[in-house]
Amino acid sequence: MTDQHLDMSGLLAVRDGDRSDPRSAAAHRHLDACTHCQHELDRLHQRTARLRALPMLEPGRNHYPAVRGRVAIERRATWYRRTARVALASAAAVALAVVGADLLRPAQLDASVQLESVMTRSEVLERTLQAYRPDTRAIDTRTAQLVVELEDRIADVDARLSRTATSQGNRRLDQQVELWQERVGLMSALVDVHLTKATNVGL
C-alpha cells in the first residue's frame, strides 16, 4: 500500500478496470486498505448515478420564424421613418418656398405686408418643428449644444420683440420686421438641425 491517496484517474481505473489488469492492480490494493479512497469512490459512483438520472435534453422549438418576423417589422419601421423624414423635409421646403417667395422682394412690399409675411413664415416653421416632435428624438452632444444655442437666441429675439411695444409708428414696424426676419432665420436653422441630426428614440 502506498501512503498517497488515489487521484481521479486512479479512482476511475478502479471503477472501470479489472483486478487482473496490472495497471489497476496497485490501485485496487490501495483501495482495499484505504477508507478515504473507498469514500471517494463511493462519491464518484453517486455522482455518476445522479448524472445518469438527469432527463434527456430535448431540442428547443424553432425560433427562426419569430426572429424573421421581428426583422421584417424592424425593416418596415426603418422604411416608415425614412419616408416620414423625407416627406417632412419636402413639406418644409415647399412651405418655405411658398411663404418665403415674397421675402426675396422686400423692396416691393411695405413694412406691414413684410411683417405679416415673416410672421406667417415663422408660424409655418413652428408647426413644422412641432410635427417633427424633436422631444421624442435623440441627438448627440454637439447637436444638443447647437439646439440650445439656437433656442436661446430665439428667446432673446422674442424678448426684444416684446420691447418694441414701447416704440412709435414706423420705427416700431421696422424694428418688428427686422426682428421677425431674424427669428425666421434662427427657426429655419433649428428645423434644419433637427431634420439632419436627430434619430428616433426607442425605435
The owner of cell 429675439 is 157
User: Is 165 a residue whose pLDDT tops 70?
Assistant: yes
In contact, 137 and 156? CB cutoff 8 Å: no
User: How far apart are alpha carbons 108 and 82 in whole angstroms?
Assistant: 40
- State pLDDT tens for residues 22-38: 667 777 788 788 888 88
Sorted by where each begins, the domain ranges of the chain are 8-53, 64-200
Question: Sign (positive/negative) of CA torsion 156, 157, 162, 168?
Answer: positive
In the chain, the N- to C-terminal Cα span, in Å, equals: 72
- State pLDDT tens for residues 110-124: 778 888 888 899 888
